[in-house]
């Protein structure tokens, strides 16, 4: 058994920022299933939004975010995000982040989709990487105790409150109970429920699923972002920065087709709008062979492409055999970001006493029905900082709970069941089930949805769960048991896939990234509310409506 005052699960930008900002003297431990600097945050290319420009304002950033999210974002949370943004970016600057800079030394800013001003601070197209490494160094300097390659398995609850965590240590194959006063989940998103995704292999939503099983409420799981520009086939991201720097989208005939769909913002309309436009072009026969369109950077010139977009140039070379300086890049939309997550308040508290959550794993509802480029990285550092600061107060107000007993016995029973479920389907495998899940999600819970296909998806996912429950693992407590890890991750993916499909089936309107062909309009009278999901006694999700905070911008029609 291990003891710490505060336990953070997740070593991406959110977890590291919280660790750096926790009050000095607090005993903070950070657990991460992969090495912190390999977290998906490190793959982020485009940048961090903050209203720093002379003509820009916090008010404009709030408005763009609320409108971009199709009025489902909680405006009190959006206000926090946008108003704390400039100060957090300055504090990252002081920590030593090597931003790309203007001639006068201030951080440079570029345009991303749905923004009225160039608002994203960046470091070429490796923005996430440089901030992740800066925060990692800071966390080490602050004396944070790191536990890399420890995998969260369960959250132990006694009398409705956090009693401890159960983690699996990959290197030793040991299961360990970790006791703490308070815990913060910063375990990232669950893009890997989809076949076509820009997300890293580790983005399996463990934090979200484990918290849900422990009784936490999830929100807005039907809202999944599909990024318009990923390399066709591999779905490696080609950042919105490519369009921010002036790139064009062209159909097979070479036309800049966005003037048909978003005549003002063109390529820099929000992602939901651009992704649907691309599919519309393809559907109407104006796509390239194999269902793509082109992202054309050639007119930007070699010097600008190599200076501002070096990583994209290399990715296009290496994974699509294309030289963006000379030829257009074939692209297709793919899953990119999970707007849904664990419902939290402005202090990052979940509905379970002692348990906090922040970053992509959480839903404080700053993105509403569609996230704007650059706002997620901002969320990781703004709400990571808030969570870190609140951890001190939360830990002071909560004595170490007594050792978990009943919850631990139950959890150990479930753990053992993984290894002894019986050889009912000896030929089945986690890989086969995951593949089927991924296909169902991409084919039937994708950019365009219908009630009929969502119903089919729900039935298919239920059948996959039955197959999953019958899987048997070879005896387990051994070092680097990747079979076991994949099994645990698949359980989380299935759980979150079912809730995503269930919530999408239920919402009979189109809003932001959730587009129902059979209900193509936004319906504020019936649906201007959050979808809350909690686990019912029979293990199935129970859905209800939650209010949306509207403080200054009443819903309007959303044109670009
Ligand atoms: C390719 C790509 C590019 C992007 N570009 C941008 C951009 O330019 N601008 C922008 O605003 N957003 C961007 N995003 C989104 C943004 O990067 C993410 O939303 C954000 O970085 C998530 O940070 P996080 O700290 O919440 O989680 P992550 O960085 O995903 O970290 C999750 C952490 O949780 C740990 N973890 C997970 N499960 C467990 C478990 N079971 N046990 C222990 N530890 C666990 C992992 O080890 C990891 O350390 C991009 C996303 C992708 C995929």
Give CA separation, 189 vs 14, 22, 28, 149, 225, in Å: 12, 23, 23, 18, 11
Q: Which residue has 């949370």 as its token pair?
A: 77
Same domain for 210 and 344?
yes
Closest CA to 194 of 503, 484, 529, 501: 501
Q: Residue 49: its pLDDT value, please?
A: 98
Q: Residue 67: its pLDDT value, please?
A: 97
12/16 Cα distance (integer angstroms): 6
Number of neighbours of residue 523 by Cβ within 10 angstroms = 13
**Inside any domain, residue 552:** no
The helix or strand, by DSSP H or E, that contains position 396, with its residue range, turns out to be: helix 375-396
Closest CA to 30 of 12, 14, 11: 11
Point out the domain boundary residue: 335, 361, 388: 335
Q: With contact defined as beta carbons under 8 Å apart, do 238 and 295 qualify? A: yes
Tokens encoding 507? 């919402």
278/273 Cα distance (integer angstroms): 9
97/90 Cα distance (integer angstroms): 10
Query: Could you tell me if residue 23 is left (phi over 0), alpha (psi between -120 and 50 degrees) or otherwise beta?
Result: beta
Q: Residue 290: its pLDDT value, please?
A: 80
- The pLDDT-based confidence of 474 (bands split at 50, 70, 90) is confident
Same domain for 320 and 345?
no
Residue 458 lies in domain: 420-536
Same domain for 99 and 142?
yes
- Structure confidence by residue, pLDDT tens digits, 151-193: 999 999 999 999 999 999 999 999 999 999 999 999 999 999 9
Closest CA to 430 of 473, 480, 479: 473
**Inside any domain, residue 490:** yes
Same domain for 315 and 360?
no
- For position 467, which CATH number holds? 1.20.58.100
Would you give the distance in Å from CA 188 to the centre of its chain? 6
> Which residues are catalytic, by number?
271
Strand segments (E) across 109-197: 109-110, 120-121, 145-148, 150-158, 161-169, 174-185
**Inside any domain, residue 370:** yes
- Structure confidence by residue, pLDDT tens digits, 523-547: 999 999 999 999 999 999 999 999 9
The ligand 1 atom nearest the CA atom of 34: 47
**How open is the CA angle 84-208-355, to the nearest 5 degrees?**
65
75/64 Cα distance (integer angstroms): 11
Of the residues 40, 167, 228, which should be mutated to test ligand 1's pocket, given the most ligand atoms within 8 Å of the CB?
40
Same domain for 330 and 194?
no
Same domain for 309 and 345?
no
Give CA separation, 24 vs 29, 144, 514, in Å: 13, 10, 43
- Structure confidence by residue, pLDDT tens digits, 317-376: 999 999 999 999 999 999 999 999 999 999 999 999 999 999 999 999 999 999 999 999
**Inside any domain, residue 541:** no
Point out the domain boundary residue: 289, 307, 335: 335
Question: Which percentage of the chain shows pLDDT scores above 90?
Answer: 95
User: What long-range pairs does 309-315 form, CB within 8 A, spacing at least 24?
Assistant: 309/124, 309/125, 309/239, 309/241, 309/242, 309/245, 310/124, 310/125, 310/126, 311/45, 311/124, 311/125, 311/126, 312/45, 312/125, 312/238, 312/239, 312/241, 312/242, 315/231, 315/236, 315/238
> Averaged over 397-417, what is the pLDDT?
95
- For position 34, which CATH number holds? 3.50.50.60
**Inside any domain, residue 86:** yes
Same domain for 360 and 434?
no
Q: Residue 421: its pLDDT value, please?
A: 54
The ligand 1 atom nearest the CA atom of 371: 11
Residue that wins the pLDDT comparison between 479 and 131: 131
368 touches ligand 1 (CB under 6 Å): no
Q: How far is the CA of 541 from the centre of ligand 1 (A)?
A: 25
10 touches ligand 1 (CB under 6 Å): yes
Same domain for 328 and 350?
no
- Give the chain's end-to-end CA distance (angstroms, integer): 55
Give CA separation, 340 vs 72, 353, 437, 459, in Å: 12, 21, 19, 22
| DSSP character string of 533-554 | EEE-TTSSEEEEEEPPP-SS--
**Inside any domain, residue 554:** no
- Structure confidence by residue, pLDDT tens digits, 287-317: 998 889 999 999 999 999 999 999 999 999 9
The tally of domains found in the chain comes to 3
Query: What DSSP state is assigned to residue 324?
Result: T
Same domain for 247 and 344?
no
Same domain for 63 and 161?
yes
218 touches ligand 1 (CB under 6 Å): no
Point out the domain boundary residue: 335, 353, 378: 335
- The pLDDT-based confidence of 424 (bands split at 50, 70, 90) is low
- For position 303, which CATH number holds? 3.90.700.10
120/370 Cα distance (integer angstroms): 17
Compute the mean pLDDT over every residue in the chain, rounded to the nearest whole number.
96
Query: What are φ and ψ of residue 476, in 5° steps?
Result: -100, -35
37 touches ligand 1 (CB under 6 Å): no
42 touches ligand 1 (CB under 6 Å): no
Same domain for 217 and 83?
yes
**Inside any domain, residue 507:** yes
377 touches ligand 1 (CB under 6 Å): yes
Q: With contact defined as beta carbons under 8 Å apart, do 2 and 24 qualify? A: no
Same domain for 428 and 454?
yes
Of the residues 99, 187, 358, 380, which should be mutated to test ligand 1's pocket, given the most ligand atoms within 8 Å of the CB?
187
- Structure confidence by residue, pLDDT tens digits, 200-258: 999 999 999 999 999 999 999 999 999 999 999 999 999 999 999 999 999 999 999 99
- The pLDDT-based confidence of 473 (bands split at 50, 70, 90) is confident
Query: Is pLDDT at 476 greater than 70 in this prediction?
Result: no
249 has which bridge partners? 295
- Structure confidence by residue, pLDDT tens digits, 493-522: 999 999 999 999 999 999 999 999 999 999
**Inside any domain, residue 558:** no
Q: How far is the CA of 106 from the centre of ligand 1 (A)?
A: 27
């Amino acid at each position: 058994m291990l003891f710490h005052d505060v336990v953070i699960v997740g070593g991406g930008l959110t977890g590291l920022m919280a660790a750096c900002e926790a009050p000095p003297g607090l005993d903070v431990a950070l657990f991460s299933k992969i090495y912190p600097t390999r977290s998906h945050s490190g793959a982020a290319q485009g940048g961090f939004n903050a209203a720093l420009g002379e003509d820009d304002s916090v008010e404009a950033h709030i408005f763009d975010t609320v409108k971009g999210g199709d009025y489902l974002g909680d405006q009190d949370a959006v206000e926090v995000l946008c108003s704390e943004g400039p100060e957090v970016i300055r504090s990252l600057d002081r920590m030593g982040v090597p931003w790309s800079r203007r001639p006068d030394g201030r951080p440079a800013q570029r345009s991303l989709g749905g923004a009225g001003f160039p608002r994203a601070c960046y470091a070429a197209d490796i923005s996430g990487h440089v901030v992740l490494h800066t925060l990692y160094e800071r966390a080490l300097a602050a004396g944070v105790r790191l536990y890399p390659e420890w995998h969260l398995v369960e959250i132990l609850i006694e009398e409705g409150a956090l009693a401890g965590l159960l983690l699996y240590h990959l290197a030793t194959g040991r299961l360990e109970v970790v006791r703490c006063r308070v815990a913060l989940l910063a375990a990232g998103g669950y893009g890997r429920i989809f076949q076509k995704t820009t997300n890293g292999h580790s983005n399996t939503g463990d934090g979200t699923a484990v918290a849900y099983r422990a009784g936490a409420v999830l929100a807005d799981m039907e809202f999944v972002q599909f990024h318009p520009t990923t390399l066709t086939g591999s779905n490696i991201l080609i950042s919105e920065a490519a369009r921010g720097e002036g790139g064009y989208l062209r159909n097979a005939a070479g036309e800049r087709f966005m003037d048909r769909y978003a005549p003002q913002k063109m390529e820099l309309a929000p992602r939901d709008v651009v992704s649907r436009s691309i599919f519309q072009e393809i559907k109407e026969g104006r796509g390239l062979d194999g269902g793509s369109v082109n992202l054309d950077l050639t007119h930007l010139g070699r010097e600008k492409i190599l200076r501002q977009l070096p990583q994209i140039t290399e990715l296009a070379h290496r994974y699509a055999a294309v030289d963006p300086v000379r030829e257009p890049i074939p692209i297709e939309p793919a899953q990119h970001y999970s707007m849904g997550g664990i419902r939290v308040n402005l202090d990052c508290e979940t509905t379970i006493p002692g348990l906090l959550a922040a970053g992509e794993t959480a839903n404080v509802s700053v993105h509403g029905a569609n996230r704007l480029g650059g706002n997620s990285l901002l969320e990781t550092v703004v709400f990571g900082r808030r969570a870190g600061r609140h951890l001190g107060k939360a830990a002071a107000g909560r004595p170490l709970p007594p050792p978990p007993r009943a919850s631990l016995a139950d959890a150990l029973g479930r753990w053992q069941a993984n290894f002894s479920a019986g050889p009912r389907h000896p030929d089945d495998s986690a890989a086969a089930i995951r593949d089927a899940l991924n296909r169902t999600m991409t084919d039937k819970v994708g950019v365009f949805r219908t009630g009929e296909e969502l119903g089919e998806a729900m039935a298919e996912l239920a059948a996959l769960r039955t197959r999953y429950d019958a899987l048997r693992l070879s005896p387990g407590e051994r070092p680097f048991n990747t079979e076991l890890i994949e099994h645990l991750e698949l359980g989380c993916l299935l759980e979150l896939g079912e809730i995503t499909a269930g919530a999408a089936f239920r919402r009979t309107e189109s809003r932001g990234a959730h587009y129902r062909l059979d209900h193509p309009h936004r319906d504020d009278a019936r649906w201007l509310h959050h979808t809350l999901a909690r686990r019912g006694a029979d293990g199935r999700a129970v859905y209800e409506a939650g209010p949306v905070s509207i403080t200054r911008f009443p819903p309007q029609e959303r044109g670009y």
